[in-house]
C-alpha cells in the first residue's frame, strides 16, 4: 500500500500542537514540541522507548495536563473546549480489553449507547463486516484471536466517526495477514477525510502507511518528513552508513539518529 503524498492534501490542520512542555518532577519528558496533522493525513510518531511519545499522546488524549503549550483538535482548544475536543478523537490503545463474555454485536451496541449513537440493528450488524468480522459477529470477545481483537477495537475507536484517530502500536504482535488488513482499514479511514496519528516501532509499517513521520528523542523532534525524503536526506550520514546493511532503510535512519543503545 502506497501512502498518499501529504503535499496533495489541502492545508487544513486537524491537530495542532504548539510548544508542548511536559515534566514529571525533574524529568523533562516533552521539550517544546510542535507539530501539525492535516485533514486526511496519516502521521507517524516514532521514537525509542522513553522518547516522549506516550506523554505526547496522553496530552493530546486529555489524560495528562501539560505544564505549558496548546493543543487544538478539529479547531477546538483542549483547554477551553475540552469536551468538544475529546468528542473529535477516537483512540485505539496497544492493549485494549473489552468484556470477554460479550459478543461483538453486544459490544458495539454497548459503546454506541455510551457515545449517544442511535444505531439500527442492521447498522450494528454491518460494522463487523467492515473489518472482515461478519462471520464472527456472534462470537464472544474472549474467543477472538489477537488480530480479530485489534480489528474489533478499531471499530469501537471509530464508531462515532471521530475526525482524528489515535492509534498506539495498532499492529503489535499481529501476523502479516492481520497486519495488512489493518493497514487497509487505516487507509480507508484516511480516504474518508479523517486524520490518523500513529505510533509504531515498525519502520516497515511507518514507511508503508504514513504520509509524514516525525522521529523524536529525549522529548524533542529530530526531523519531520515523508518517509522517502527522510531516507534520501540522511542516507549518506556517517552514523546511518555505520549501521546500514546494504541499501539504506528507514530503520537505518532511525537508529542513526537515535542511537543503537537499547532503551528500557
Tens digits of residue pLDDT in 79-123: 999 999 999 999 987 666 788 999 999 999 999 998 889 999 899
Q: Kindly state the cell numbers that stand for 225.
A: 518528513
C-alpha radius of gyration, the chain, whole number: 19
What pLDDT, in 10s, does the model give residues 38-71? 999 999 999 999 999 999 999 999 999 999 999 9
164 vs 190 pLDDT, higher one? 164
Write down the pLDDT at residue 244: 94
Q: Is 38 helix (H, G, I), strand (E, B) or coil?
A: strand
Q: Kindly state the cell numbers that stand for 204.
A: 516497515
**C-beta neighbour count of 191 within 10 angstroms:** 10
Q: Is 79 helix (H, G, I), strand (E, B) or coil?
A: coil
Give CA–CA dist 264/247, Å, rounded: 29
Residue 5 above 70 pLDDT? no
Q: What band does 159 get if pLDDT is binned at 50, 70 and 90?
A: very high
Give CA–CA dist 82/197, Å, rounded: 19
* 219 and 51 Cβ atoms separated by less than 8 Å: yes
What long-range pairs does 219-227 form, CB within 8 A, spacing at least 24? 219/22, 219/28, 219/29, 219/30, 219/31, 219/33, 219/51, 219/52, 219/55, 220/31, 220/32, 220/33, 220/52, 221/33, 221/34, 221/35, 222/257, 222/258, 223/257, 224/35, 226/3, 226/5, 226/6, 227/3
Q: Lowest-pLDDT range, 16-30, 99-113, 168-182, 235-249?
A: 168-182
Percent of the chain exceeding pLDDT 90 equals 68
Q: Which fold has domain 1-88+166-177+199-264?
A: Rossmann fold (3.40.50)
Give CA–CA dist 209/230, Å, rounded: 15
* Domain spans in the chain, listed from the N-terminal domain onward: 1-88+166-177+199-264
Give CA–CA dist 161/37, Å, rounded: 17
Mean of the per-residue pLDDT values of the chain: 90
Give CA–CA dist 232/29, Å, rounded: 29
Give CA–CA dist 169/217, Å, rounded: 17
Helix (H) or strand (E) holding 176: helix 176-191
172 vs 180 pLDDT, higher one? 180
What pLDDT, in 10s, does the model give residues 191-215? 888 999 999 999 999 999 999 999 9
Helix (H) or strand (E) holding 17: strand 13-24
Write down the pLDDT at residue 11: 61
Q: pTM for the whole thing?
A: 0.89
Amino acid at each position: 500500500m502506497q501512502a498518499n503524498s501529504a503535499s496533495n492534501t489541502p492545508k487544513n490542520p486537524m491537530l495542532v500542537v504548539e510548544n508542548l512542555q511536559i515534566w514529571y518532577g525533574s524529568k523533562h519528558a516533552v521539550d517544546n514540541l510542535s507539530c501539525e496533522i492535516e485533514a486526511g493525513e496519516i502521521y507517524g510518531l516514532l521514537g525509542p522507548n522513553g522518547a516522549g511519545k506516550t506523554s505526547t499522546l496522553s496530552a493530546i488524549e486529555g489524560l495528562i495536563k501539560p505544564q505549558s503549550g496548546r493543543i487544538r483538535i478539529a479547531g477546538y482548544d483542549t483547554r477551553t473546549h475540552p469536551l468538544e475536543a475529546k468528542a473529535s478523537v477516537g483512540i485505539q490503545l496497544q492493549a485494549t480489553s473489552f468484556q470477554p463474555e460479550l459478543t461483538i454485536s453486544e459490544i458495539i451496541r454497548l459503546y454506541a449507547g455510551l457515545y449517544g449513537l442511535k444505531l439500527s440493528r442492521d447498522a450494528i450488524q454491518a460494522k463487523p463486516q467492515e473489518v472482515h468480522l461478519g462471520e464472527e459477529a456472534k462470537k464472544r470477545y474472549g474467543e477472538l484471536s489477537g488480530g480479530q481483537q485489534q480489528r474489533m477495537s478499531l471499530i469501537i475507536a471509530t464508531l462515532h466517526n471521530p475526525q482524528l484517530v489515535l492509534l498506539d502500536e495498532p499492529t503489535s504482535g499481529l501476523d502479516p495477514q492481520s497486519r495488512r488488513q489493518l493497514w487497509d482499514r487505516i487507509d480507508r479511514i484516511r480516504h474518508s477525510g479523517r486524520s490518523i496519528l500513529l505510533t509504531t516501532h515498525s519502520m516497515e509499517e511507518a514507511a508503508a502507511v504514513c504520509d509524514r513521520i516525525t522521529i523524536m528523542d529525549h522529548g524533542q523532534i529530530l526531523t519531520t518528513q515523508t518517509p522517502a525524503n527522510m531516507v534520501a536526506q540522511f542516507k549518506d550520514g556517517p552514523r546511518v552508513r555505520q549501521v546500514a546493511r546494504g541499501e539504506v532503510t528507514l530503520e537505518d535512519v532511525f537508529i542513526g539518529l537515535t542511537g543503537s543503545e537499547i532503551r528500557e
